[in-house]
Chain A
């Protein structure tokens, strides 16, 4: 028994394999009475059951994870490839096998999460691999469910066809990104954050204004500011300027509130220290208070990176020229081209993550000294 260490995922996967054998064919027969991809079934079963069995032996964690990874993903790939072209014919064993493969992937992730390494690169790699597998399985299950059950294309297209759509519509997507992100979002983000920052510095010089602005700013941050979108469209017209205006208003207040809070964040002792040096206002500001406020300012920059994108896209729902991500989404929904909508969303998600990631990277470099960053 010592060389044997069963995990519940592997055992359950094994049982699911048995159940799938017992419950008939993978898919319904086609018109000609031929059962599709029944031939690969043995291979799929062998992959899953084999990987499950191997994983139960006492082998090194890396090896176990590797076996599970290959078994689970190869099986999933075979299943999805099999169903392609004969959508909607899947029967119970199909789902049982997908579930079994998913359990193996879960086990794989669990094994990987429990690995403790001393090397920095290895732990960094693990930190990337684990969520990647998780994300991949969201797509796999999405793909398998939509194809297996033959969910109508206009309800939920499978990820693969969204990918095809993205590749085929690159020029349109590029034009939309250019209109929405490089014009409205970037311009509005820079002006909004810059203005919030400057007003915060001004307010800081006048305590009366600071005391008044902070509660108002906090209050406004909770309001559905996005509602000004139609007003801005009315004032500044259909083109990107009105979207930039919405972005400016949305990003201004978080920046203001965070900067004002951050400027008050430096310690008493540090401020007394600057006083013993008879340092003037600007010296104290640049040498002590702004660096101490940096984590707060970056927090606002991160919040705003998401808000800016949302603001620009939603503002486009209220009227745009015939280009832009929000415009594309609302018109393609109307035409029931759901795959195009998803393509646009995937691009928006990618852009949003990149935007956020860049700000987060700059934050890590600039506030390397802050406990939340140096703690890892």
Chain B
């Protein structure tokens, strides 16, 4: 009941307002072009008819929500998965490189974090560069990485996954450093009184303490990873993937296609974040964490 009142009702209300606003903007933004069309065709439609027309243009400035929904539905459920107009096909291409990059990134992030926590030299010399690495607009080199790797014969999944790796290792590394350092001094002293070895302290104290931090940062990382994969598809003349679909639609000004590709990307992002969240909750619960 509380959840319904505190969350679901406000969220649905706001979403409903957004949809109404979307329709309103669709009419407003598409009206000039429609008026132009009508003038040329010598028609003078009534208000209702005019509004109807603005919402059914073939290449509208802003497609109406139902146009996007129809397009999304057709390209998702009614097409063969192997067809290159199928959004499932494109999503799958993007998803596979996202997941590969995410896996690399998570492993890399954890390894770096473990190194930073245990080796002072790394902490002092590497940590500033890790933070600096994220102020570099890495997506800017996405095209170059892909072109350069293509020149040495590496194409397909790996280059895109590398960009995803770069984007996703950072949140994991930073979150894990925080997590591995989260045990209180008292707990560390306790391990010290047991004369526990560093590896025992690591496996019995630091690692379990860092799990909540790990999953929180993995949620951020998986979203970043998807952005990396999509941007990685932009400049390469890639033929498949959500990014390629966006670019192709932009090239031909097919705004409806553009929006439904965007919706597909958002659906994939939401699914990924939710999936990481579920796995995280499952792991935490099996480790005896309190269900939050």
What residues make up the interface of A, taking CB atoms closer than 8 Å to B?
Answer: 106, 109-110, 112-114, 126-127, 130-131, 133-135, 154-156, 208-209, 211-213, 215-216, 219, 221-224, 226-228, 230-231, 233-235, 305-306, 309-310, 313-314, 317-318, 325-326, 329-330, 333, 338, 341-342, 344-345, 348-349, 352-353, 355-357
Contacts and interface: CB of A to CB of B under 8 A. Distances in A.
Given A219-B270, A314-B231, 12 more contacts: A112-B124, A134-B126, A215-B7, A223-B223, A231-B255, A234-B258, A305-B135, A306-B135, A325-B140, A333-B143, A338-B148, A349-B137
Q: Which 7 A-B pairs have the closest CB atoms?
A: A212-B10, A230-B250, A134-B125, A212-B14, A349-B136, A352-B135, A131-B128
B255 A314 contact: no
B129 A131 contact: yes
Contacts of A329: 140-141, 143-144
A347 B29 CA distance: 38
B15 interface: yes
B265 A223 contact: yes
Nearest to A226: B227
Contacts of B70: none
A313 to B, nearest CB: 5
Contact of A212 (B11, B125, B235, B273): B11
Interface of B: 6-7, 10-11, 13-15, 29, 61, 120-121, 123-129, 132, 134-141, 143-144, 147-148, 151-152, 219-220, 223, 226-227, 230-231, 234-235, 242-243, 246-247, 249-250, 253, 255, 258-259, 261-262, 265-266, 269-270, 273
A222 B223 contact: yes
A224 B135 contact: no
Contact of A314 (B7, B128, B140, B151): B140
Contacts of A310: 137-140
A223 B144 CA distance: 24
Given A215-B7, A317-B234, A326 B140 contact: yes
Nearest to B6: A211
B172 to A, nearest CB: 15
A227 B246 contact: yes
Given A135-B129, A223-B265, A333-B235, A345 B140 contact: yes
Given A109-B125, A127-B124, A216 B11 contact: yes
Contact of B7 (A211, A221, A235, A357): A211
B258 A231 contact: yes
Contacts of B129: 131, 134-135
A231 B259 contact: yes
Nearest to B136: A349
A109 B152 CA distance: 35
14 contacts: A109-B121, A127-B124, A131-B124, A212-B14, A224-B242, A224-B266, A227-B242, A227-B243, A234-B258, A306-B137, A310-B140, A318-B250, A341-B141, A352-B137
Interface of A is mostly: helix
Contacts of B220: 222
Contacts of B124: 109, 112-113, 126-127, 130-131
Contacts of B273: 222
Given A130-B125, A155-B148, A234 B139 contact: no
Contacts of B61: 234-235
A131 B11 contact: no
A188 to B, nearest CB: 14
A212 B13 contact: yes
A109 B122 CA distance: 9
Contacts of B143: 317, 329-330, 333
Contacts of A226: 139, 227, 230-231
A314 B137 CA distance: 9
Contacts of B226: 224
Contacts of B137: 306, 309-310, 313, 348-349, 352
A345 B141 contact: yes
A309 B243 CA distance: 19
Contacts of A130: 121, 124-125
B235 A330 contact: yes
Most chain A C-beta atoms within 10 Å of own C-beta, residue among B7, B235, B243: B235
A330 to B, nearest CB: 6
Contact of B246 (A215, A216, A230, A305): A230
B10 A209 contact: yes
Contacts of B243: 227
B144 A341 contact: yes
Contacts of B258: 230-231, 234
A222 B269 contact: yes
Contacts of A326: 140
B266 A333 contact: no
A131 to B, nearest CB: 4
B147 A333 contact: yes
B100 to A, nearest CB: 17
A131 B238 CA distance: 38
A134 B61 CA distance: 51
A83 to B, nearest CB: 22
Contact of A224 (B120, B227, B255, B259): B227
B136 A211 contact: no
A224 B270 contact: no
Contacts of B13: 208, 212
Nearest to A219: B270
Nearest to B29: A235
